[in-house]
């Protein structure tokens, strides 16, 4: 075993061997992922190195489209041939724990996670205080702004407060009659997370929350004030909802308006870097990022974060679970990759996704110190994970519907928050 595996785990493996598990520690594992072929190839290369160090252990990668990932796990997890390891979206974790699919991480490895990942990300892979896997992909939100448009408007640096955000949005908005030629601040609609996460980042940065102690709290002033901020921006014409549409692949017009210089500021997650660069070409150099502007009641920027994690199937045999955790400890450990990075960190960076282990961030600090990424990296410690609960996806849609109704004038900000609070609470009460 590698030197990265805590002793108790190695002792368990040795005990399994001495107990006569085939006379040697031979295990066949499967790893379910939604990654594309080029990333699967990198994972298989890392697996090959692990298998060379651990004779008898074989790991097969099974890749499915994102849209089939959860259904595959639901339908196959109880089968003897089901996946041993799976990469999942954190929002699915409570359901998989409740259904007995996700196994708790061994205590020794839980300490590795709590010691080497930011607290917010540890929370995103935990249910009721129990850690269920290794965080890997991490996304969080930041204010994206076009420095060329800022310079043309005579603005220096990004806004840091809501008051400045409104002032800057006014200065950056251009109209041709009733037609918006350039909007100061862009929003997103037609996509649940794209609507809710940026807005909730403003709520968090105003001292608020979506859920507290199991209760919806969207009727509190912090959430209402964030809704009223949107309401004012739209009423003033600094934000145009008709420019906010997202398509089924979570890109579309809202991205193109920003890429074309028709939107000066928008709150968005780091993952869109590659799509934005592809759309903008050399003009991508005009884009910078900054912390979320802070509301009147906030104590600082607190962007929403969400993560992916790797879990082990609780229905796998004890021997398979031990082998799977051993592999994940190695894959996410600081000696499995290049120059102090984990192999997982190297794989994520190949996709332009922020690694989450603290030592991975340090190992890739040069690559992360770009004008675009540094605004995200600087906020990892301030990020607040989106609540992971059963019904989380439904709650997201409920808030999306209320906000979109407000954007088109069907509800006032106050009515939208009352509706959203009522609908989210109904989901929590089930």
pLDDT in tens, 250-279: 789 999 999 999 999 999 998 888 789 889
Q: Give the confidence band of 25 by pLDDT, cuts at 50, 70, 90.
A: low
- In whole angstroms, what is the distance from residue 399 CA to residue 363 CA? 38
Closest CA to 72 of 101, 97, 49, 94: 101
- 179 near 194, Cβ under 8 Å? no
Looking at the predicted structure, is the pLDDT value of residue 11 above 80?
Answer: no
Per-residue H/E/C for the chain: CCCCCCHHHHHHHHHHHHCCCCCCCCEEEEEEECCCHHHHHHHHHHHHHHHHHCCCEEEEEEECCHHHHHHHHHHHCCCCCCCCEEEEEHHHHHHHHHCCCECCCCHHHHHHHHHHCCHHHHHHCEECCEECCEEEEEEEEEEEEEHHHHHHCCCCCCCCEHHHHHHHHHHHCEEECCEEEEEEEECCECCHHHHHHHHHHHHHCCCCCCEECCEECCCCHHHHHHHHHHHHHHHHCCCCHHHCECCCCCCCHHHHHHHCCCEEEEEEEHHHHHHHHHHHHHHHHHEEEECCCECCCCCCCCCEEEEEEEEEECCCCHHHHHHHHHHHHHHCCCCCCCCCCCHHHHHHHHCCCECCCHHHHHHCHHHHCCCCCHHHHCCHHHCEECCCCCCHHHHHHHHHHHHHHHHCCCCCHHHHHHHHHHHHHHHHCC
Structure tokens at 172: 């950056």
Looking at the predicted structure, is the pLDDT value of residue 24 above 50?
Answer: no
Q: What is the mean pLDDT of residues 6-16?
A: 46
- The pLDDT mean for the chain works out to 91
Looking at the predicted structure, is the pLDDT value of residue 21 above 50?
Answer: no
pLDDT at 5: 43
Q: Give the confidence band of 195 by pLDDT, cuts at 50, 70, 90.
A: very high
Looking at the predicted structure, is the pLDDT value of residue 100 above 50?
Answer: yes
pLDDT at 385: 83
Q: Give the confidence band of 22 by pLDDT, cuts at 50, 70, 90.
A: very low
Q: How many angstroms separate the most distant Cα atoms in the chain?
A: 81
pLDDT at 238: 98
Least confident of 88-97, 136-145, 212-221, 383-392: 383-392
Q: Which is more confidently placed, 378 or 149? A: 149
Read off the pTM.
Answer: 0.78
**Residue 319 backbone phi and psi in degrees, to 5:** -65, -40
Other beta carbons within 10 angstroms of residue 55's beta carbon come to 10
pLDDT at 103: 97
Residue 78 C-beta-side C-alpha neighbours within 13 Å: 6
Looking at the predicted structure, is the pLDDT value of residue 8 above 70?
Answer: no
- In whole angstroms, what is the distance from residue 115 CA to residue 161 CA? 33
Indicate if the alpha-carbon torsion angle 360, 276, 309, 29 is positive or negative.
Answer: negative
Show the CA angle centred on residue 13, arms to residues 9 and 18, nearest 5°.
145
Looking at the predicted structure, is the pLDDT value of residue 4 above 70?
Answer: no
Looking at the predicted structure, is the pLDDT value of residue 53 above 60?
Answer: yes
**Model confidence pLDDT, tens digit, residues 353-366:** 888 899 999 999 99
Q: What is the mean pLDDT of residues 78-101?
A: 91
Indicate if the alpha-carbon torsion angle 353, 159, 300, 406 is positive or negative.
Answer: negative
- In whole angstroms, what is the distance from residue 347 CA to residue 332 CA? 11
Residue 415 C-beta-side C-alpha neighbours within 13 Å: 10
Indicate if the alpha-carbon torsion angle 213, 215, 221, 224 is positive or negative.
Answer: positive
- In whole angstroms, what is the distance from residue 51 CA to residue 37 CA? 20
**Model confidence pLDDT, tens digit, residues 42-52:** 999 999 999 99
């Amino acid at each position: 075993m590698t030197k990265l595996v805590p002793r108790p785990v190695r002792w368990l493996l040795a005990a399994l061997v001495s107990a006569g598990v085939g006379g040697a520690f031979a295990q066949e594992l499967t790893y379910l992922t939604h990654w594309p072929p080029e990333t699967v190839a990198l994972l298989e290369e890392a697996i090959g190195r692990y298998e060379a160090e651990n004779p008898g252990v074989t790991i097969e990668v099974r890749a499915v489209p994102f849209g089939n990932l959860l259904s595959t796990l639901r339908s196959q997890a109880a089968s003897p041939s089901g996946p041993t390891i799976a990469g999942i979206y954190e929002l699915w974790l409570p359901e998989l724990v409740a259904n007995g699919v996700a196994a708790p991480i061994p205590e020794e490895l839980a300490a590795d996670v709590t010691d080497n990942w930011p607290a917010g990300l540890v929370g995103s892979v935990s249910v009721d205080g129990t850690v269920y896997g290794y965080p890997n992909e991490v996304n969080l939100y930041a204010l994206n702004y076009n420095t060329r448009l800022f310079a043309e408007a005579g603005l220096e640096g990004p806004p840091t407060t809501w008051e400045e955000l409104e002032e800057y949005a006014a200065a950056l908005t251009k109209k041709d009659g009733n037609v918006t030629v350039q909007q100061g601040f862009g929003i997103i609609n037609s996509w649940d997370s794209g609507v809710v996460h940026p807005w909730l980042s403003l709520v968090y940065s105003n001292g608020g929350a979506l859920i507290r102690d199991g209760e919806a709290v969207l009727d509190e002033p912090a959430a209402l004030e964030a809704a009223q901020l949107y309401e004012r921006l739209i009423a003033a014409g600094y934000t145009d909802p008709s420019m906010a549409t997202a398509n089924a692949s979570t890109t579309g017009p809202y991205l193109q308006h920003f890429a074309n210089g028709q939107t000066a500021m928008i709150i968005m997650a780091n993952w869109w870097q590659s799509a934005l660069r592809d759309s903008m070409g050399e003009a991508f150099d005009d884009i910078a990022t900054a912390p979320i502007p802070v509301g009147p009641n906030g104590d600082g920027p607190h962007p929403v974060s969400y993560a992916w994690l790797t879990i082990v199937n609780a229905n796998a045999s004890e021997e398979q679970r031990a082998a799977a955790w051993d592999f994940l400890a190695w894959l996410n450990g600081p000696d499995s990759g290049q120059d102090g990075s984990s192999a997982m960190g190297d794989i994520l960076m190949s996709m332009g996704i922020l690694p989450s282990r603290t030592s991975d961030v340090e190992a890739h600090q040069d690559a992360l110190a770009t004008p675009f990424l540094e605004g995200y990296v600087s906020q990892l410690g301030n990020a607040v994970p989106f609540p992971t609960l059963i019904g989380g996806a439904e709650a997201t849609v409920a808030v999306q519907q209320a906000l979109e109704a407000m954007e088109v004038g069907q509800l006032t900000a106050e009515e939208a928050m009352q509706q959203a609070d009522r609908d989210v609470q109904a989901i929590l009460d089930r």
